[in-house]
Each structure stands twice: as structure tokens, then as C-alpha cells.
Copies of this chain bind each other. A is one copy, B any other.
């Protein structure tokens, strides 16, 4: 830990070495540290992508524009998805596939968060199924999938606007529900704040909620749950 910078030598450009990676996180909490790319200068991103091209590290919020400008020699090591804006070079070891999560989203505009959750689960080695376009304006879509959803031990619900899907599904399943509001819509959708509030005051009991668009966090919350059903040993 030699990270301090003295005033003798004022810094004028970014020092990638400034990042102190929390390597021991997986041992502590069962979840490895991930790299949140949004807002990080390109030089630091390149440094980190180079550093982790042989190790299981997940990059989130990595915009397609940023990724596409990377050197081809670096890009080819990474499995990148522009919708979820996630990338990884190596997967974590797969877990027992009978323990798995359902990701249920209301509309196709919720895809970025829903797929961030799905990709995170996949990266961490967990099985999942993704059910998209299940919004309550056409309830038959949810009804037809309910039994299948109930066969998962954790359910991630992804919805924007009125987020009514969280309440309706919360009243129909006994599974742990992690709800992700999304920033779709305009006007009073308030970039997801209204969906967030709807989920927090859901009339269905025991629905817990993540930050807006936080598919990554929802997957982590699901993994904390699924790990209860797996043998210890961790990551």
C-alpha cells in the first residue's frame, strides 16, 4: 500500500496505479470486486482491462463508444455486450445449476438492466433464465410464465414507469424478490425515481429494492441468497 502522493511532486495526469484493488473481497463476502467504468478516465480503464485479461473480473457500465475505441489487441480478449454494457475475459467457476435465479422484465426497454443482471449471474457462475416483456398491461404474459418462474430460488424483477410488475408478481410468488427500477420513460417517470418509489411502497410484502438500473447489484443480492443453498468454499 504505497499510494500516497506527496506535495513535492504535484500530479498533473492520472496515475493508474492509484487504484487499490480489493482482492480479498470474494473471500470476505463471496463477491469479487468489479470495475465500475462510468466516469473513469480512459487511461485507467485501459490499464485495468490489460491487467485483468486473464482473470475473472467483471467490467460494468462500459459504454459501447468507449469499448469500440480500445485497441483491437485488448478487445479480442473480452466478451463484451453493448446492451448491458458489461465485459469480462474469464468466467468465474460455474455453480450447481439446480440453484438459479429468474430475471423477469416488464418491457424491451428494460433490457439494459435486465441483461446486466443476467450477465452478472452468468459471469459469477450462476444459472438463470431471462423472461422479458412480461408487463402487467397484458397480464396473460405473466400468468403463462408464473409456474416456471417459481421454479427458481430467487427472482429479480426489472421494471420502469409504474413498476406494477413488482407488486403483481410479489403477490403471486413466495420466492425472494429483488426489484430493479429502470430509467425508461419520460416526464413523471423522472428517470426511474417513480418506479423506485412504487417498488419501495409495493402493496406486496417483502419486496426488496435496488438502485435505479442496478442490474449488477440485483445479481449480487441474488447471489448472496443462492449461496445459502450451495456448499460454502465460496468463489
Contact = CB atoms under 8 A, between A and B. Distances in A.
A176 B136 CA distance: 19
A20 interface: yes
Interface string A30-64: 11011010111100100000000000000001000
A69 interface: no
A13 B82 contact: yes
A224 B174 contact: yes
Given A7-B121, A7-B127, A7-B128, 20 more contacts: A5-B129, A12-B80, A13-B83, A22-B138, A25-B171, A29-B206, A136-B167, A136-B171, A139-B171, A162-B162, A168-B168, A176-B225, A183-B187, A187-B192, A187-B211, A188-B200, A190-B197, A194-B201, A206-B223, A229-B229
Sorted nearest first, the 5 A-B pairs with minimum C-beta distance are A206-B220, A187-B212, A208-B208, A194-B197, A164-B164
